[in-house]
Amino acid sequence: MFRYLTAGESHGKGHIVVLEGIPAGLPVSEEYITRQLQRRQGGYGRGGRMKIEKDRAEIISGVRHGLTLGSPVSMLIHNLDWDNWKDVMSTYPISEQTEPVTKVRPGHADLPGVLKYGHDDVRNVLERASARETAARVAAGAVIRGLLDKFNIVINSHTVCIAGKWAKASGPTDWDKVEASAVYCADGDAEKLMIKEIDAARDAGDTVGGVFEVVAQGVPVGLGSYAHWDRKLDGKIAQAMMSINAIKGVSVGMGFDMAALRGSKVHDVIGTNLHRKTNNAGGIEGGMSNGEPIILWAVVKPIPTLGKPLPSVDLKDGKLADAHYERSDVCVVPAAGVVGEAMLALVLAEALLEKFGGDNISETLNNYKSYLASTEVK
């Protein structure tokens, strides 16, 4: 069974991730992991924190001479900002109490979090609820992409919309252009409008959200299950995407646009080679991959830490007060797309290992090859 767990507080010493169930013999490159972490730190609209952090994952275990051992892989990402928070975030008791955060932010985990855990300092919630945790997930995704590489599965993401400014879809996405864009969007005209919206929101002490798309190419047919509700691939993907901070909705393929169309205009006609001319299903039918690219959209809400805080309550005395503000991002849509890639990679890896098993990657690939032979059209 493949599984992973993250730990860490935003301004604590660092973030840790432990991955278990990875076959032995997969190449792991710290350089590649660092590149993915840097992509997550990027995107126009990030705040002051990203000038402090230079994310790098230190591999602690499970890898020897650049190859996985089959034992748990663990990594540590240091928070460079920890230096400024040593007292506030000390794991030891401290002599003088630090000022608690008591003015809860609407839209954040603050209020339900303190009520649920019985905290009187919102910091006990916001530190873990912070999207900084997604750095650990991206590191995990970067390791597991070593497995996907063996299956020639490639995952990309790009920004489709920020603050109501939509990219024009014209033919296949130019991924090099996406990487070169400040907002990870290949449509240069849309990029300019998105940046304008981000600047305007920042000037107004506000935030903006949007939509990103994640695409996985090369996924073999038959990952997931039509027989078990909890192994349906689209169900697993939706859960993984919804678990990313600030994500409020996920769709597969044509998604919500299906609501307006008849079945004859939605379903992808099957040709003699079993491939399709269209991919409205977004690569998933009946809870299983169907061999076409997996295509997902996710909507990111405007993040709830506002430069000009919303009215709220101070839990200290129950009186009305503006919400807490320290410093924040204005837009995280491009970064969220990079996290979406990692989450999709992790779900696909789990589904691949569930189907093909293997303690060593050669064993996994042999099982895969004999399966491929069995799916060839007679």
Enumerate binding residues for ligand EPS (CB under 6 A): 10, 47, 49, 53, 126, 130-132, 135, 305, 326-329
Name the residue nearer to ligand EPS (CB basis): 135 or 294.
135
Work out how close the CB of 133 gets to ligand EPS at its nearest, in angstroms, rounded to a whole number: 8
Name the residue nearer to ligand EPS (CB basis): 23 or 43.
43
Name the residue nearer to ligand EPS (CB basis): 49 or 232.
49
Work out how close the CB of 199 gets to ligand EPS at its nearest, in angstroms, rounded to a whole number: 18
Name the residue nearer to ligand EPS (CB basis): 319 or 327.
327
Work out how close the CB of 48 gets to ligand EPS at its nearest, in angstroms, rounded to a whole number: 6
Name the residue nearer to ligand EPS (CB basis): 161 or 338.
338
Work out how close the CB of 326 gets to ligand EPS at its nearest, in angstroms, rounded to a whole number: 6
Name the residue nearer to ligand EPS (CB basis): 49 or 145.
49
Work out how close the CB of 47 gets to ligand EPS at its nearest, in angstroms, rounded to a whole number: 5
Work out how close the CB of 23 gets to ligand EPS at its nearest, in angstroms, rounded to a whole number: 30
Name the residue nearer to ligand EPS (CB basis): 129 or 295.
129
Q: State the SS3 of the chain.
A: CCEEEEECCCCCCEEEEEEECCCECCECCHHHHHHHHHHHHCCCCCCCHHHHCCCCEEEEECEECCEECCCCEEEEEECHHHHHCCCCCCCCCCCCCCCCCCECCCCCCHHHHHHHHCCCCCHHHHHHHCHHHHHHHHHHHHHHHHHHHHCCCEEEEEEEEECCEECCCCCCCCHHHHHHCCCCCCCHHHHHHHHHHHHHHHHCCCCCCEEEEEEEECCCCCCECCCCHHHCHHHHHHHHHHCCCCEEEEEECCHHHHHHCCHHHHCCCECCCCCECCCCCCCEECCEECCCCEEEEEEECCCCCCCCCCEEEECCCCEEEECCCCCCCCCCHHHHHHHHHHHHHHHHHHHHHHHHCCCEHHHHHHHHHHHHHHHCCC
Work out how close the CB of 317 gets to ligand EPS at its nearest, in angstroms, rounded to a whole number: 24
